[in-house]
Structure 1
Amino acid sequence: MGKIYIVTENNEDIFNFPCDYPIKIFGLSQPDFKKTVCQIVESHIGQLHANQLTIKNSSKGKYNSITIRIIATSRKQLDAINSDLQACPLVSYLL
């Protein structure tokens, strides 16, 4: 499985911080997937609320996708979240 990285051609930020930012995480359906992903994101932004999460199962139930909407405060914060999620063995893809 591969990971998707955010790449820009120049150093200019494409975001105006703070901003609403969705993070979409895909992984195999495992009991600790949601808990682990939420703990990683919470380590950077504080406690998540239920209305920030959307969880979907694939049609055959093999995969889960979690969309977490955060208020991003900086590019450094987004890079740290992405880096930690990419390092997690339960995460297959990250958008």
Structure 2
Amino acid sequence: MTLLNPTDALARAVAGVASHGFLIVARNTRGDSVYLKPEGSVFALRVSNHARTPKQRANHPDSVTSLVIRQPKAESQIDALVAEALRNYAGECRKREG
């Protein structure tokens, strides 16, 4: 099993989320946190290499779930994390909309 380093794993995760119709709407200056939203949605999904800080929570209150990758991962592991993040995102959106 070949592992992707965290930077490449994050890029694969962002591409995976984007392949489901999400667009990149924000990226921090270091490039290690990316916020994506489906067109027309007020809610974002965050992909990062670290947990959210209070500053990030304040700057992006619309982020309803995060996909965090800190360690090298296999492509299949990343794809599973993307699928889980998309399910969590959909669930959080339902809770907040209804």
TM tier relative to shorter chain: 0.3 to 0.5
Structure scoring higher RCO (CA < 8 A, sep ≥ 6) equals 1
TM-score, structure 1 as length reference: 0.36
Larger relative helix fraction: 2
